[in-house]
């Protein structure tokens, strides 16, 4: 029995200054409307916690930027540093969630009422490669707090949350755990090999490296698991720095000319391309290193090099749907 996962409502990111991070997210993603709130509660074992959070949305893609003060999130920030931490999953089926947690032996780390709704953080980081899971009902998904207006326009359009990517040490083990706990049954395996992908770069320099990854989907929720193998990669950097943990998201497919314009504008702001590669005639992909401005979040952008690139890469429509959704 798996947890009731059908979509990802928000991506959670830990930061040392949520207001400053929100200002950068406004400039990167074009999120102008935020809610800023101070939150507090107790964990399941009775420890107090407190944090400030900023919540905003771009075209339905939600971000909650959490600035820990004490307890729960503060422990993770001290251990892993700034960066993506968890996903918020909408649910109204608490009975199924309770039963699935019991079957999996998965404890709740914290639960509290929010705007008359329920929000529950699961103790999922161990089995899910450092990925935290927060389940929330419709009322709890309405962000609390005071409105915060911030200037900015999207450098690249936010189309949808194509995937959340997690760095893991053992891809096969991670896939089995995501399958068992989240019900992600369909996976697409992809190899990253600079010998077959011309133009591989690591922070602007040619590089030789390999990695393996799998993309899995359940409903509208898509997860990518990445195991670095050899050579310098942003994947290896992340594992060495933060351990197994969420690393990047993909929200945009951009034509090459739009990508180049965005890359230049972002470089002027200190956000550079950490890694890139291409499959000639099909597609190129790059990772923007959000670093301090985006509180450690990397953002992947795919550049289609042919109108039918998905058909050429993935002849099966079902496989293509797993990768980019409907």
Question: Which secondary structure element, helix H or strand E, spans residue 30, and what is its range?
Answer: none
The CA distance from 180 to 126, in Å, is: 14
pLDDT exceeds cutoff 80 at 115: no
Judge whether 240 and 291 are in contact, CB under 8 Å.
no
| Domains along the sequence of the chain with CATH | 10-149 (3.10.180.10), 163-324 (3.10.180.10)
Q: Is the pLDDT of residue 114 over 80?
A: no
Name the average pLDDT for the chain. Answer: 95
Q: Single out the residue of 44, 47, 134 nearest to residue 89, CA to CA.
A: 134
H-helix or E-strand containing 9? none
- 316 C-beta neighbours (distance < 10 Å), count: 10
- The pLDDT assigned to 307 comes to 94
Q: How many CB atoms lie within 10 A of CB 173?
A: 14
Convert 149-200 into a string of H (helix), E (strand) and C (coil). ECCCCCCCCCCCCCEEEEECCCHHHHHHHHHHHHCCCEEEEEEEECCCCCCC
For the cut 80, the answer to whether the pLDDT of residue 147 exceeds it is yes
The confidence score (pLDDT) of residue 148 equals: 97
19: β partners: none
The closest of 192, 267, 184, 264 to 232, measured between CA atoms, is 192
- pLDDT at residue number 130: 96
Structure tokens at 306: 């042919």
Model pLDDT for residues 173-232, shown as the tens digit of each residue:
999 999 999 999 999 999 999 999 988 999 999 999 999 999 999 999 999 999 999 999
Confidence class for position 116, pLDDT limits 50, 70, 90? confident
Half-sphere exposure of 12 (CA within 13 A, CB side): 25
Beta strands in 10-47 (DSSP E): 10-14, 33-42
pLDDT class for 34, splitting at 50, 70, 90?
very high
pLDDT tier at 123, thresholds 50, 70, 90: very high
């Amino acid at each position: 029995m798996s947890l009731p996962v059908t979509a990802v409502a928000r991506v959670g990111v830990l930061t040392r200054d949520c207001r400053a991070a929100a200002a950068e997210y406004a400039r990167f993603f074009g999120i102008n409307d935020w809610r800023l709130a101070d939150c507090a509660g107790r964990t399941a074992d009775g420890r107090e916690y407190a944090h400030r959070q900023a919540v905003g949305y771009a075209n339905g893609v939600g971000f909650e930027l959490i600035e820990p003060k004490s307890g729960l999130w503060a422990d993770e920030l001290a251990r892993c540093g700034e960066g993506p931490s968890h996903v918020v999953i909408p649910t109204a089926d608490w009975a199924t969630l309770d039963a699935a947690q019991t079957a999996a032996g998965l404890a709740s780390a914290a639960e509290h009422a929010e705007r008359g709704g329920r929000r529950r953080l699961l103790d999922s980081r161990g089995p899910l490669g450092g990925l935290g899971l927060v389940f929330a009902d419709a009322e709890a998904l309405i962000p609390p707090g005071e409105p915060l207006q911030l200037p900015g326009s999207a450098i690249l359009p936010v189309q949808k949350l194509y995937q959340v990517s997690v760095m893991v040490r053992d891809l096969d083990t991670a896939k089995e755990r995501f399958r068992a706990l989240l019900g992600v049954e369909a996976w697409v395996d992809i190899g990253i090999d600079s010998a077959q992908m011309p133009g591989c770069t690591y922070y602007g320099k040619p590089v030789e490296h390999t990695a393996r990854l799998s993309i899995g989907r359940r409903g509208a929720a898509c997860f990518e698991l990445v195991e670095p193998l050899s050579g310098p990669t942003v994947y290896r950097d992340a594992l060495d720095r933060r351990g197994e943990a969420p690393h990047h998201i993909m929200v945009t497919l951009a034509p090459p000319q739009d990508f180049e314009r965005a890359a230049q504008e972002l470089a002027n702001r200190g956000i550079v391309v950490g890694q890139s590669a291409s499959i000639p005639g099909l597609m190129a992909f790059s990772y923007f290193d959000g670093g301090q401005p985006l509180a450690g979040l990397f953002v992947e952008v795919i550049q289609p090099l042919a109108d039918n690139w998905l058909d050429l890469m993935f002849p099966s429509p079902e496989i293509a749907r797993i990768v980019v959704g409907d």
